[in-house]
Amino acid sequence: MRIAREQVRVRVPATSANLGPGFDALGLALGVWDEVTVRAITGQTRVSVEGEGNGDVPDGEDHLVVRALRLGLETAGAPQAGLDLTCRNAIPHGRGMGSSAAAVVAGLIAARGLISDPEALDESVLLALATEFEGHPDNAAPALFGGATVAWEDADGPHAAAIPLAPEVRPSVLVPADSLATRSARQVLPERVPHRDAARNAGRAALLVLALSGRTDLLLAATEDRIHQGYRSEVMPATTEAVRALREAGWPAVISGAGPSVLVLERLDRDTAQTLSRHGWRVLDPGVATQGAHLLA
Ligand SMILES: Nc1ncnc2c1ncn2[C@@H]1O[C@H](COP(=O)(O)OP(=O)(O)O)[C@@H](O)[C@H]1O
Ligand SMILES: N[C@@H](CCOP(=O)(O)O)C(=O)O
């Protein structure tokens, strides 16, 4: 295996994971994109960042895109090289919109684009590597494949399948000013949950697949969760209150990923959006990214 191209450009979408009851399984790609240009060079690795993360993320070998890219090259049996990265980031960090999965997937797709035999990093290898980085497959799957996905793991590794998405499913995302690391929002989760809550979630997750693919009248009932959102309320009280108030008003609102953003699986009306903006939320109408991460010409 050799490095066959000197430069590649990658685009990768934001993702919202869980969608309420589908903890670590369901995910949706959103039309907010990071773009990374990678050049293989002879000197030391350097990274420049425009937009989200500028000044906050490492600018050398520790950068997440670089680490993922190196794992991709290593897995493919390709030689390592110095790397010159230019990142144009639109996905907010630490908000539950899958920025870390996007960075990992960007690095892996860049590695695939650079090498002489891209099939060494086929879809299942990419999903396995991205899941290894993230610890769960629910952001990695829609970041790689676009649209809505259900992901699961077995002895062969992670797998993903597309959920056909009804056109009425038009997400709104409320992004708060403050961030919260996914690691912190996972630390508050219990080791065990009551059987009745697990059973209720299983039913709701199954219902949600139906709702997303056409029975949109069921979205509110189908987005109820008992196994992660309640436990997370202590670390994101404003998010919890926004989800509660929106659901009471009939909107299918959930915590986006590990929070603290809120995902609503319907387009908010203008009055509701304006009220939320006045309360400090950045209200996005990103649309669904039907295409996953890809190389640009
Ligand atoms: N584009 C990126 N480039 C480099 N590092 C990134 C990038 N996106 C995310 N990260 C790293 O991942 C962290 C956020 O990941 P995480 O806590 O999982 O939140 P989320 O994925 O929900 O945004 C950032 O603080 C940063 O360290
Ligand atoms: N299933 C994970 C999803 C984390 O998504 P992120 O976008 O917040 O990284 C969880 O709920 O912890």
Q: Structural domain boundaries of the chain?
A: 7-164+288-296, 172-284
Query: Sign of the CA dihedral 128, 131, 135, 136?
Result: negative
Q: How far is the CA of 214 from the centre of ligand 1 (A)?
A: 33
What are the residues whose beta carbons fall under 8 Å from the beta carbon of 280, sequence distance 6 or more? 176, 177
- Cβ-contact 172, 267 below 8 angstroms: yes
Task: State if residue 134 touches ligand 1 by the CB under 6 angstroms criterion.
Answer: no
Per-residue pLDDT of the chain (297 residues; tens, 9 = 90+): 999 999 999 999 999 999 999 999 999 999 999 999 999 999 999 999 999 999 999 999 999 999 999 999 999 999 999 999 999 999 999 999 999 999 999 999 999 999 999 999 999 999 999 999 999 999 999 999 999 999 999 999 999 999 999 999 999 999 999 999 999 999 999 999 999 999 999 999 999 999 999 999 999 999 999 999 999 999 999 999 999 999 999 999 999 999 999 999 999 999 999 999 999 999 999 999 999 999 998
The domain 172-284 is placed in CATH, from the list 3.40.50.1370, 3.40.50.1970, 3.40.50.300, 3.30.70.890, at 3.30.70.890
**pTM exceeding 0.90:** yes
Atom 17 of ligand 1: nearest residue by CA position: 181
Please report the atom of ligand 2 found closest to the CA of residue 189: 12
Q: How far is the CA of 178 from the centre of ligand 2 (A)?
A: 16
Q: Which of 206, 266, 208, 276 is nearest to 241 (CA)?
A: 276
Task: State if residue 111 touches ligand 2 by the CB under 6 angstroms criterion.
Answer: no
Task: State if residue 89 touches ligand 1 by the CB under 6 angstroms criterion.
Answer: yes
Please report the atom of ligand 2 found closest to the CA of residue 16: 7
Task: State if residue 98 touches ligand 2 by the CB under 6 angstroms criterion.
Answer: yes
96 to each of 27, 60, 106, 111, 273, how far by Cα in Å?
A: 11, 25, 18, 25, 19
Residue in the block written with tokens 């002879």:
42
Q: Which ligand is nearest to the CA of 139?
A: 2
Q: Is the ipTM of this complex over 0.95?
A: yes
Q: Report the binding-site residues.
A: 92-102
Q: Does domain 7-164+288-296 have CATH number 3.40.50.2300?
A: no
